[in-house]
């Protein structure tokens, strides 16, 4: 019951669509129009630079058409780049993207209010990055 995204040259595989960064807003807008009203989550994971890949982050948006039709938009964002924000389409993306920005350090372009949400404003670094606090006495803390 995958959603048909062939006109974006994208294939949904087990509800998961790997979306190029520049197509995200168009795909999301299309999905919003298709009745994917329910915003489940926005998650990000940081991947440090390796031999083959630069420093990058995985961002996943999960959207749902009630009752149970999911689509997960998966993006790879290089650290030098910013992820387009979906806060204009789903209000939930506002706080979710703030949280991911705060913890993982992914920047979201076009977010109306991109501040830290969990940590204090003057907190150094983003704790869920893999390179966070590796040179302090807190590492390896266990």
Q: Which residues contribute to the site for other proteins (CB under 8 A)?
A: 25-26, 29-30, 32-33, 35, 37-41, 43, 45-46, 58, 60, 62, 66-68, 72, 84-92, 94-96, 99, 103, 109-113, 116-120, 127-128, 141-142
Least Å from the CB of residue 102 to other proteins: 8
Least Å from the CB of residue 121 to other proteins: 10
Please identify, using beta-carbon distances, which residue of 80 and 118 lies nearer to other proteins: 118
Please identify, using beta-carbon distances, which residue of 39 and 101 lies nearer to other proteins: 39
Please identify, using beta-carbon distances, which residue of 29 and 136 lies nearer to other proteins: 29
Instruction: Please list, residue by residue across 40-68, b when 16 or more beta carbons sit within 10 angstroms of its beta carbon and e when fewer do.
Output: bebbbebeeeeeeeeebbbbbbbbbbeee
Least Å from the CB of residue 38 to other proteins: 5
Going by the DSSP 8-state scheme, the letter that residue 33 receives in this structure is H
The C-alpha R_g of the chain, in whole angstroms, comes to: 16
Structural contact between residues 85 and 97, judged by C-beta atoms closer than 8 angstroms: yes
Please identify, using beta-carbon distances, which residue of 61 and 78 lies nearer to other proteins: 61
Least Å from the CB of residue 135 to other proteins: 17
Burial of 133 (0-12, 13-18, 19+ CB in 10 A): middle
Least Å from the CB of residue 80 to other proteins: 20
Report the distance separating Cα 68 and Cα 71, nearest Å: 10
- CA 13 to chain centroid, in Å, comes to 18
């Amino acid at each position: 019951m995958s959603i048909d995204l062939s006109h974006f040259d994208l294939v949904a595989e087990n509800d998961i669509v790997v979306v190029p960064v520049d197509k995200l807003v168009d795909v999301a807008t299309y999905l919003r129009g298709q009745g994917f009203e329910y915003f489940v989550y926005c998650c990000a994971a940081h991947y440090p630079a390796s031999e083959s890949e630069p420093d990058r982050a995985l961002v996943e948006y999960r959207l749902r058409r009630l009752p149970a039709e999911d689509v997960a938009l998966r993006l790879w964002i290089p650290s030098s780049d910013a992820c387009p924000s979906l806060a204009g389409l789903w209000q939930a993306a506002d706080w979710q993207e703030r949280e991911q920005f705060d913890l993982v350090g992914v920047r979201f372009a076009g977010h109306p209010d991109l501040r830290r949400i969990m940590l204090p404003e003057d907190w150094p670094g983003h704790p869920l990055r893999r390179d966070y606090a590796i040179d302090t006495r807190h590492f390896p803390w266990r």
